[in-house]
Amino acid sequence: MAQLSDLRDATLELARDEPERQALADRLGRYHSVARDHIDRHVAGQRPGLARQTIAQRQALTLREAGLEHNQDFLPGLAEAHASAARSLAQLDGLPEAPAMQAARSAVWRGAIDRRLADGEGARALSLFEQAKDNLVPADQRALEVPIQAARTDAAADAWIARQIDKDGEPLATRLQADTGLSAAEKATALAKIEARDSAQESARVATVKGLDDSLGATTGTLATQPAAYRPGTLAALANAYDDAGEADKADSARRMALQESFLLPFARSGAATQQRLIDSLPEGEDRAAAEAIQRRQAETFAQDPFTAGTALYPDVGPPKPIDDLPGRIAQARTIAAYRGIPVAPFTANELATLRQKLVDGTPQERDALLAQLNTLPEDMKAAVVPIRMVSDATDTQSGERDQVAQSDTRTAPTSSMESRRGIFPVPEPAPDSEPYQAAMRILDQLQAAEKGSTTEPLPGTPEHQDAATAERRLALEELKGTTTEPPPGTPEHQVAAAAAARIEADEAARSPEGPFFREPPPNDQDIERAFQREPGVKVTLPNGAHIEDPRSRTGVVMAPFDDLKEVAAAGRRERQKLVDNPGPPIPGEVLTRVRDALRSYVGHGGIYDYQRRYNKYGKDHFTQLPQFRNVSNVNVGLFGQQFGLSLPNTLALAGLYALSNSRNSSFGKPYFLDEETKKYIEIGYKLGESGMFD
């Protein structure tokens, strides 16, 4: 209104004379009066809406305050405040005030009760209900009837458990069933609470026992291999903890070990020969069993890393000297060797691995320098270093990287990769025909020759070396032929004899005077690799004379470089028997690891029966691909898996997981991650094994 008045006055000031001003004043006055009436009507219409909005905000704030736990003592006042707001709203709407005020009071009490129930505070909710039930309208009473009854049942169950839990006698569940003072619903609720509590306690107890088992294993390991780090009384403390966890048998076992501490600690620090004399002098019983367990644990530790094990076990040896202090290292190694009765190198397993890596991958100058350093070692240290390195060479060879032509001649089982992990240097071996491998072998030959005082052995690859190798194979063959009975076909001995005979025949044919001297093409000759890719192979023939259909093959049947499904089946059975005869230590995942190792060695990439790949250091992924033999390789996977004792789903699952990491044709969206053709021929091989025709 003030703005309109100001505009009117400003307009009148613009008049040129008094008559014009008077005329404008009359007209502007009428317009001003009409505008003022409109504004008054608008304000009058908006005033009730604003009042309702204010009341609604007050009511929402009151209900929210009623739901807060710390406001419980103020609920009556909040209920009256809510009722006052409801009365104002009823006056605006022209409705009766009393019902509106009663509904508002009821809403405050019900909201508070609902919040306590939602928070799991059944006892508080029941207390509020008893306090407010006379203020609740019928609709709110009906809405609260079921949750309040449930809260009463829950409270009755809690009260019964609280009364009975500290009483001696039968188990709570038994006493509960015999109690006639509880309803069926209250008994069911109490039983559920008892079972839930017992389940939680048992789960916590089992977890505690597992932790104690881990601690006991670590403690016995420390006592066996690092007795200086063992704290006397630890086993007794574990026995008490087992008692507290309700494991009486394990507590007794730990307590008996604790009583043996005074014997086991000096026994663990004794030399190997002394330990054996002590064991032989003990009668059968717990003392002897505990001593033998320590002896086994130490033997395993020294087999893996004798220098590290000895410096940790024997106090007079002490921690390893700096590697620059070679005389100190040698003194420590000799002391450990005296304790154990075995050769001990003055290096840890990791240090030997580094030395061996340098021998394999280093430049000629680096290899010569390292060889010169090793030759300065005393004779007993050379005797310790060379055999360890040779064992490592024998155990960490990766069978998948061997030349498949050699595999087709000699069908003996490869060294498993699990065995390679036990070697001194667990890294992949270079291919036997590679330059680093040959260089390393020459260095090792020189080390051995230096130890023997002779360097006259012919170098590998020379005619003299080939003649010597032929003579050795002939001698081995004669020894095999001199046995009383010929090895049965299919056995490893028969395969060795056949391979030796074939190699001798090939060696003699190469040196035949009837023709020019013949030398085998150099390894990885690409003309040879291309010739293998053109090789059609032979038809795979089943024992019943049938063939396996293959629409992609030019012949319409599965082709292979060798018709040898019987050998595949025999290898699977042989590996299965190895696993049965020697299950190994009860370590989680050990069996799965050995199964994977067997599958990888025989039917993995580059394995004995993986005919679709030949090792080729110049090829893609270091293989020559032979796609014409892809399907027979997958048949071999299924047949080997079945004869090995795997189920078909497990065979497919292991093959799929391997393909997912190693093959480009794996399919993440397909069953077992295998493309359809791969899966098809694995299943064919598995079903052939199930048919019994290879038994």
Write out pLDDT tens, residues 132-148. 888 888 998 899 889 98
pLDDT for the residue numbered 79: 81
| Least-confidence region, from 190-194, 463-467, 514-518 | 514-518
Is the CB of residue 500 less than 8 Å from the CB of residue 480?
A: yes
Q: What is the CA radius of gyration of the chain?
A: 45
Confidence of residue 410 (pLDDT cuts 50, 70, 90): very low
> Which residues face 625 on adjacent strands?
613
Write out pLDDT tens, residues 58-110. 778 877 777 675 666 778 888 888 888 888 888 777 888 888 898 888 888 88
pLDDT for the residue numbered 416: 36
Residue 367: name the closest of 359, 375, 357, 356 by CA.
Answer: 359
169-197: average pLDDT: 86
Instruction: Compute the distance between CA of residue 651 and CA of residue 634 in angstroms, rounded to an integer.
Output: 11
Residue 87: name the closest of 51, 132, 43 by CA.
Answer: 51
pLDDT for the residue numbered 69: 58
| Least-confidence region, from 381-390, 404-413, 686-695 | 404-413
Write out pLDDT tens, residues 38-47. 777 776 666 6
pLDDT at 540 > cutoff 90: yes
pLDDT for the residue numbered 684: 96
For residue 477, give the 3-state DSSP assignment. Answer: helix
Residue 356 or residue 251, greater confidence: 251
> Got the DSSP string for 315-330?
TTT-SPPPTT-HHHHH
233-243: average pLDDT: 93
402-431: average pLDDT: 36
**Mean pLDDT computed over every residue of the chain:** 78
pLDDT for the residue numbered 636: 95
pLDDT at 228 > cutoff 60: yes
**Token reading at 263:** 């014997």
For residue 455, give the 3-state DSSP assignment. Answer: coil
pLDDT for the residue numbered 284: 86
pLDDT for the residue numbered 483: 46
Instruction: Compute the distance between CA of residue 319 and CA of residue 325 in angstroms, rounded to an integer.
Output: 13
pLDDT for the residue numbered 455: 40
pLDDT for the residue numbered 132: 81
In this structure, what are the phi and psi dihedrals at residue 478, rounded to the nearest 5 degrees? -65, -40
Instruction: Compute the distance between CA of residue 166 and CA of residue 668 in angstroms, rounded to an integer.
Output: 58
pLDDT for the residue numbered 484: 42
Residue 491 or residue 249, greater confidence: 249
* pTM exceeding the 0.75 threshold for the entire prediction: no
Amino acid at 206: V
**Token reading at 563:** 């018709």
pLDDT at 463 > cutoff 80: no
pLDDT for the residue numbered 422: 32
Give the count of alpha carbons within 13 A of 594, CB side only.
18
579-607: average pLDDT: 79
| Least-confidence region, from 194-198, 380-384, 400-404 | 400-404
442-465: average pLDDT: 47
pLDDT for the residue numbered 195: 87
Instruction: Compute the distance between CA of residue 41 and CA of residue 650 in angstroms, rounded to an integer.
Output: 85
pLDDT for the residue numbered 417: 35
Confidence of residue 332 (pLDDT cuts 50, 70, 90): very high
pLDDT at 620 > cutoff 80: no
pLDDT for the residue numbered 405: 31
Percent of the chain with pLDDT over 70: 77
Amino acid at 327: P
pLDDT for the residue numbered 489: 63
pLDDT for the residue numbered 421: 31
Q: Which residues contact 267 (CB under 8 A, 6 or more apart)?
A: 275, 278, 291, 294
| Least-confidence region, from 197-211, 270-284, 367-381 | 367-381
pLDDT at 317 > cutoff 70: yes
Confidence of residue 329 (pLDDT cuts 50, 70, 90): very high
> Measured between alpha carbons, how far is residue 689 from residues 605, 606, 639, 648 in Å?
22, 22, 5, 11
Write out pLDDT tens, residues 341-352. 888 989 998 888
Residue 457 or residue 84, greater confidence: 84
| Least-confidence region, from 246-255, 517-526, 607-616 | 517-526
**Token reading at 360:** 């394999």
pLDDT at 409 > cutoff 60: no
Q: E strand or H helix at 468, and its extent? A: helix 463-481
> Measured between alpha carbons, how far is residue 647 from residues 84, 377, 411, 501, 683 in Å?
78, 54, 25, 38, 11
> Got the DSSP string for 594-638?
HHHHHHHHHHSTT-TT-TTEEE-TTSGGGEEE-GGGHHHHHHHHH
Residue 423 or residue 554, greater confidence: 554
- Burial of 321-358, coded b for 16+ CB within 10 Å and e otherwise, reads beeeebeebbebbbbbbebbeebbbbbbbebbbebbeb
pLDDT for the residue numbered 208: 93
Is the CB of residue 430 less than 8 Å from the CB of residue 436?
A: yes
**Torsion of the alpha carbons at 563, 568, 569 and 573, rounded to the nearest 10:** 160
Write out pLDDT tens, residues 544-555. 999 999 998 989
pLDDT for the residue numbered 181: 85
> Measured between alpha carbons, how far is residue 337 from residues 378, 452, 584 in Å?
14, 21, 28
Measured at the CA of 583, the angle between CA 593 and CA 344, to 5 degrees, comes to: 80
pLDDT for the residue numbered 263: 87
